[in-house]
Amino acid sequence: MIASNDSGNPYEGERRISALADFWLAHRHKQTERGELSLKQWAEDKTKLEVFRKFLRVNYAGVVFIDQLEPSILNRYRDLQWNFVDCGGEFQISKATLKKRLDSVAKWLTWLVDQNILKELPKDLRTYGRVKLDKPKPLFWTVDECKSLATKASKRTRLYIALALNLGYTQKDIGTLEADMIDWDTGIVIRDRHKTGVPSKGKLWHSTLKMLQKHRNSDPKGPLLVGTNGLPLYTEKVNDKGNLIVNDSVRLAFNQLKQTKKAGFKEDPRSFKHLRKSAANEIEKARPELTELFLAHAEAGMKRHYVSQHFEELFAETDKLESLYGF
């Protein structure tokens, strides 16, 4: 199972599971630096693979080297993780978390083969992470709830809500919006969506454009919107302990709004990200073929190429949302 040594291989001679896991995570972190992977995805890989590493430490303390990793061990890990699905208590996980845990192990081992550390996989992993996920229940804010939230929000938070409903933006999308992405005469915004890398194109409502002009950062460089302290609204960084730290002022502002008596959503599980789903739901009712374009999903779920006509049709639908949501 172990590949022969190659003097050109930076991992030559290393067979310890712990070190090889760290090598993979270091490789994934370099992908974040190149913009090929988000820090959140890296942090998730790190967390999920650590579950497997802990499983080995507790149940197979003598399994130290990669060539000791037998199919039976991988099968037992998968079976044990299945036992945690909806089991109740502190160890309970969802099917989505189960799939992520199994997929992280499969990705790591596949990378070891790709790097010529392993000649072959310990077992066929093509179906290792196959989990039939429950159909997600639609969760979004109603039109009346969105109008109520926007009415009771501060001027800054109202702008964040408008961007979510108008352009389908997440907190990170808002925090990384830059002035040169916007045609200030037409209100057209062109950029790649952070999560998918898919080029997105949107048209600002007249009201959103006015709010952006009022609250925009006076510094032409960097993010268009910053906090009252002048700091970015959204940042991700890895601390000295190797953990991802996210500062999200948009989410914080929205949660503070929810907590107020006048808003009346203190215990509501819905979050800021469900605002874009609310807008997508309205587009789905009228023009379902434009929903994926509005959300800028990965190309597997949307047409690879959209012509200008499609965007004009989308703009016509998003324009209607301005009055619908009371802006």
Q: Distance (Å, rounded) from C-alpha 201 to C-alpha 124? A: 41
Could you give all domains of the chain from N- to C-terminal order, each with its CATH number?
17-114 (no CATH), 143-324 (1.10.443.10)
Q: Which pLDDT score, from 0 to 100, does residue 302 have?
A: 44
Percent of the chain having pLDDT more than 90?
76
What the block records as the tokens of 305 is 């190429």
Q: Distance (Å, rounded) from C-alpha 159 to C-alpha 220? A: 19
Neighbours of 56 (CB within 10 A): 19
Give the range among 18-27, 65-74, 168-177, 185-194 with minimum mean pLDDT. Answer: 185-194
Binned at pLDDT 50, 70 and 90, residue 241 comes out as: confident
The C-alpha R_g of the chain, in whole angstroms, comes to 23
Classify the phi-psi angles of 222: left when phi > 0, otherwise alpha if psi is within -120 to 50, otherwise beta: left
Q: Which pLDDT score, from 0 to 100, does residue 308 have?
A: 62
Tokens 């090598």 belong to residue? 23
Q: Is the pLDDT of residue 76 over 80?
A: yes
Binned at pLDDT 50, 70 and 90, residue 1 comes out as: low
